[in-house]
A and B are shown apart, each in its own frame.
Chain A
Amino acid sequence: MMKKILAIAWKDNYQIFTDRSLLLLMFITPLVISTIVALVFGGDGGAASLSNIPVVVVNQDVGIVEQEQRINYGQQFISLLMPPQNSDDMAAVACPLLEDATQNQDTTSPIALYELIDLTQLDDPQAARDAVDNGDYAAAIIIPSEFSQAFRVDPITISAQPTIQVEVYGSQGVPISASVVRAVVDSIINTNKTGSIAINTALTTLIQLNPAVLSQLQTADDTLQPIYACGFSPDLGIVTINQQPIISGDARSLFEVILLSVGASQAVFFALFSAQFGVLNIIEERRAGTLQRLFVSPTTRFEILTGKLFGTFGTVVFQLSIMLLALTLVSSLLTGTLTNIWGTNIIGIITVVLALSFAATGIAMLLAGFTTTPEQAGPIGGVINIVLAMLGGAFGVTFGPPLSYLSLIYWGTNALDKLSAGSTDILLNLIILLGQGVLFFGIGLILFNRRAEV
């Protein structure tokens, strides 16, 4: 049975991959669109050209008190996004080393965060989210109450700090801007984590070399806490985050962020066409008479349908994989450094690609179930794809949730975006993609099998 299924899948794929116009549609078109959009909105890989993204921030951080001095890392976080003259007004951390430190600011940076982001501060998280939903802001940043506590260096336990979540509530209407804000927040948090780890590592090494240091540290904790804070200081060049241009260290560039967002959605959008081409090939074969020829051979209906769907699924998996690799290559070529824009979670990426391919093939099967001719299926399929792309943000503008939740493009690109940012929180994305696939497959197969006569 498998031999026949594989033979049908091979035959379909052979026909697709020897068709130059199809290859153009599958690979070159989405790659070119993504690259152009990323270059237009994201610079040449080194510069950012977006600016004044309206962002609202809510600082719920209660801070910590050391030596009767109130330290609020949340406010420090906000100061990074404000123009320098306003930083003094913030109750940020006072770093005693600052006076002696050499300023290490990159004055040649093409764009500073405060230029990129037009920040407004609110007190109510829900009001901030509502304002985003209303289109007043591209994103809301909600800093949690335990933010400072999470970065407090504790020389007594010298243990890993609790994980904190800074919520970035992005607008579905301007997904590129929202992605940029998310990337900025990730970058700052990562830098702070680096500072925390650096200080903890230094203290641990010190205690291991001379255990007596521990008791001295315990008695002097309150005194030292502000000094620890220098690790996170925006003004100190040791761990530089001051007026940080987006292009910095291991943070993703704006170009990469946009290429990732647009590239992923365009790849899925065009993969939908490939899936439909593959499955609707059943209808084309019916017209050409080759399907009837298969049905009069000693091959079961199950083998024929499975072979065709397996072939289509393989095509989509291959297309998406090649697209992700090609986008990585484009990004690396244009930024001048080999960069894996999709992150390092290879298993996660493979899982998302498989789930996306399954969902895309499912939609195509549904289409094959309720249409009977290529003339009928072509326009309907095109409309479905465009609607899904709009809902999913593939064209830069969407209707926002909950409508965007209906699109596999949203769930797929969202999962890839999370993986790229280092998050593994993609279970819901996978469940929804697989669920959509199962649902559409099921309905499509039932409708198709109802047609006893071919």
Chain B
Amino acid sequence: MENIVEARGLVKIYKRRDGTTVEAVKGVNLDIRKGEIFSLLGPNGAGKTTTISMISGLIPPTSGDAKIGGYSIINSPIQAKKLLGVIPQEIALYPKLTARQNLEFFGRMYGLGGSVLRKQVDEVLEFIDLKDRQNDRVETFSGGMKRRVNIGVGLLHKPQLVYMDEPTVGIDPQSRRRILDTVFRLRDEYNMSVLYTTHLMEEAQELSDRVAIIDHGTIIAQGTQGELTQQVGEEDRLLFHVGEAVVDEALLKRIEQNVEGVTSATYTVLNLKELTASDAPQTDLIDKLSTGTVAAIRAGHTTEGLVTVVARRGRKALPHIINLMDSNGVQIQSVEVREPDLEAVFLKLTGRALRD
């Protein structure tokens, strides 16, 4: 399949005021195919936005190059940008202008004019379902409606590639669902390629034809979800929420040695006070946490113990582990079984969870 994006050796080095340097992106190579949804998954600060900012021509790479539709973003930036529609994470609109005025203005920036512009604006207003509010100022819109206009601006010129930067951060579940459906429509109805950045493993899993995982400015894995999960084999993860109970090393060793199929058992204590003090919207926080942790927060606990057991045929090992913990006086409050997923891939490759 033909590639719409080919990035080779992208490096971005920032200079600090004290003269030292930070290498935010370290030689990223990416291939995005025409008509696919490609997710760039990584924790906050991994280099997702910097990588995409270089591909979209917003910031110049320190070295390396990226081509969009065969046009170099360094040597032919105008041609490359014509093929790209950008939907930023923040609402990048003019609040004093109406929805239609915003669309018309940005349409002109993409070289549209006259009847073509009017037709495109009408189509986009239809697509984002805001035709009846087209003459209202954006500042009067709800957050979800602003998001839709924000998306509409990126689609005006019918780009071959749409880049969406964490578009679901901080919005309600209904608007989020709508955006995810929009991503599928762009691929299926308009045959556009979508480059989607996220730190939410669930979104990447639901949306992506292919995924690249980025950490510390480096692509650590790239491929279809099947290809990536193969890297962690057939192992399941069992998450035991033990509330404020303390699990000692001896019990963990016993689980590893006595239960068949178990390859590792770890115990971590989550500080729920810190988690809930986060500025992140509640919906965003719940996305990141397991159901057991959310239940502990809602029960008013300040800490929560979590035993993570990695095991082949996890469901078969489950009753044995429960017995062992019970016999050692550890009261289990809830259990989750997770089959191999992108979270597990990230955990295996980095030793950390995506949410860490």
Contact = CB atoms under 8 A, between A and B. Distances in A.
B96 interface: yes
A7 B86 contact: no
B277 interface: no
A399 interface: no
B32 to A, nearest CB: 16
A394 to B, nearest CB: 30
B58 interface: yes
A292 B88 contact: yes
Name B's interface SS: loop
B108 A298 contact: no
Contacts of A295: 57-58
Given A11-B97, A14-B97, A19-B96, A294 B109 contact: yes
B88 A289 contact: yes
Given A7-B105, A11-B97, A15-B94, A296 B113 contact: no
B94 A11 contact: yes
B47 to A, nearest CB: 15
A453 interface: yes
A18 interface: yes
Contacts of B82: 298
B59 A453 contact: yes
A290 B58 contact: no
A293 B97 contact: no
Contact of A290 (B78, B94, B101, B111): B94
Interface in A292-311: 292-300
B7 interface: no
Interface string B67-94: 0000000000111011010101011111
B113 A292 contact: no
A288 B92 contact: yes
Contact of B96 (A4, A18, A298, A299): A18
A343 B111 CA distance: 45
A298 B92 contact: no
B22 to A, nearest CB: 13
B341 to A, nearest CB: 32
B97 A290 contact: no
Contacts of A428: none
B94 A7 contact: no
Given A452-B59, A453-B59, A293 B92 contact: yes
A14 B96 CA distance: 9
A286 to B, nearest CB: 11
Given A19-B96, A289-B90, A290-B93, A296 B59 contact: no
Nearest to B14: A453
Interface in B253-299: none
A454 interface: yes
Contacts of B110: 297-298
Interface of A: 3-4, 7, 11, 14-15, 18-19, 288-290, 292-300, 452-454
Q: Closest 10 CB pairs between A and B? A: A289-B92, A297-B109, A298-B81, A7-B108, A293-B92, A298-B78, A289-B90, A296-B86, A296-B56, A453-B59
10 contacts: A289-B91, A290-B92, A290-B93, A292-B92, A293-B106, A294-B109, A295-B58, A296-B81, A296-B84, A297-B110
